[in-house]
Amino acid sequence: MSVNIGRRHAVAVLGGTAIAWPLAAWAQNDRVRRIEMLVDLPDDDPDRSILLRAFRQRLEELGKREGRDIHIVIHYPGDFSFASAQEQYLLAAKEIVRLRPDVIFAQATPGVAALGEETRTIPIVFVEVPDPIGSGFAETFARPGGNITGFTDIEVKSTGSWLQMLKEIAPQLERVAMIANPRMTPYAHFFDAASIAAATLGLELVPIAVERAGDIEREVSAIAQMPNSGLMLLPEQRGNRYRKLYINLAARNRLPAVYPDRFFVAAGGLMSYGIDRAEMFRQGASYVDRILRGERPANLPLQAVKYETVLNLKTARTIGLRVPPNLLAAADEVIE
């Protein structure tokens, strides 16, 4: 949805390239400010409302009331259902830049990459990007240096924590399937670190690339045929859309599984170690507010938010696992 806010945005388009007025000039303009959001969650995803509510609430706490001070427009790349996954992000990015917002808020690596191709001037605040330096979005954590800044989600060292959790809850474990869509997440970024951790724990790491629901069912069923196997999902938004499928397959095959965020565990998954995603959206809103007040993305350092461990005791009992006391004591949240 869009509205006529009465004055043109301080962005011109010349030869297909977005050219922005200086941020200081934007900050002095007393009009309603436009925030375009590229979120990788469809309307019917229950997480979407939770995360967007956290974003809006934080902006309101900072004095930015929707309809009075800001206008938020939400885009979902899946709306371009006629296109391939990568094309969906590119089409969404083109549409967002065409609308000439004051700030863009983007969730996950593919969306940020597509937006970065379309504009070097409109400020972009990202969340849930695991490797912003390697992805070319910023020069350093302390000084991003361009028009993109934001909040990282999972660090590569988290792979060691995930594998350690699996080994603790299932001591007989021999191999772990590392699952993600390599088109949507920096797979190699995680695999190198996970390989070192797996070797230390005496585990075989089995890389599995999936792109659609049929791939997931086939690959998980195959790993389940090997005794003493487990699952480890990498952070990847399109994988989140299949959370019920992953959870059901793990339960059906009695596979211990660790996930990158609590939404999996709340839906019946075994355990997770990852970011507080709602808090990350709140922090992202804080950066959006600072940019609207005149600060430059180039000078806003990249940051990470706190991690949390979540366990589902009912799921553990269902698949015949006992949660060891040390893992239980380390949990930030336990679902009975």
* 301 and 214 assigned to the same domain: no
Instruction: Please give the pLDDT value at position 237.
Output: 59
pLDDT at 10 > cutoff 60? no
Structural domain includes residue 1: no
Residue 84 and residue 194 share a domain:
no
pLDDT score for 30:
60
**Band of pLDDT at residue 104, cut at 50, 70 and 90:** very high
CATH code of residue 112: 3.40.50.2300
Position 4 in a domain: no
* Residue 2 domain-assigned (yes or no): no
Percent of the chain with pLDDT over 70: 89
Q: What is the pLDDT of residues 148-202, one digit of tens each?
A: 999 997 677 789 999 999 999 999 999 999 998 887 667 887 888 899 999 999 9
| C-alpha span between 310 and 265 (Å, rounded) | 7
**Tokens 């996954």, located at residue:** 85
Prediction pTM value: 0.78
Tokens for 147? 């028009």
Residues 174 and 319 in one domain: yes
In a domain, 249, yes or no: yes
Number of domains in the chain: 2
Residue 58 has pLDDT above 70, yes or no: yes
- Give the C-alpha distances (Å, rounded to integers) separating 128 from 152, 185, 278: 5, 10, 11
Please tell me whether residues 135 and 165 are part of one structural domain: no
> What pLDDT does residue 16 have?
36
- For residue 323, the model assigns a pLDDT of 96
Residues 19-48 pLDDT 10s: 343 444 444 446 899 999 999 888 888 889
Q: How much is the pLDDT for 330? A: 93
Give the per-residue pLDDT at 238.
60
**Which pLDDT does position 145 carry in this prediction?**
96
Q: Examine the domain organization and report whether 93 and 231 are in the same domain.
A: no
Same-domain pairing of 180 and 314: yes
Q: What is the pLDDT of residue 1?
A: 38
Q: What pLDDT does residue 139 have?
A: 96
So what's the pLDDT on residue 154?
67
103-107/124-127 β-pairing: parallel
Are 95 and 72 contained in the same domain? yes
Residues 192, 183: Cα–Cα separation, whole Å: 17
Specify the range with the lowest mean pLDDT, choosing from 108-122, 184-198, 322-336: 184-198
Per-residue pLDDT reduced to its tens digit, 255-307: 999 998 888 999 999 999 998 889 999 999 999 999 999 999 999 999 988 88
| 234 domain-assigned | yes
On whether both 79 and 215 belong to a single domain, the answer is no
Question: How far from each other are the two terminal CA atoms of the chain, in whole angstroms?
Answer: 41
Average pLDDT of the residues in 96-111:
96
Q: Is residue 226 part of a domain?
A: yes
The reply to whether 30 falls in a domain is yes
Domain assignment of residue 285, yes or no: yes
Q: Which domain holds residue 132?
A: 11-153+276-306
Q: What is the mean pLDDT of residues 70-80?
A: 94
Q: Are residues 172 and 239 in the same domain?
A: yes
In the chain, pLDDT over 90 holds for what percent of residues?
68
Q: What is the pLDDT, as a whole number, of residue 239?
A: 59
Residue 308 has pLDDT above 80, yes or no: yes
Amino acid symbol at 44: D
Q: Are residues 241 and 293 in the same domain?
A: no
* 297/187 Cα distance (integer angstroms): 27
My answer on whether 204 and 219 are in the same domain is yes
Alpha-carbon distance of 326 to 151, in angstroms, equals 30
Q: For residues 58-66, give the mean pLDDT.
A: 97
Q: Are residues 263 and 297 in the same domain?
A: no
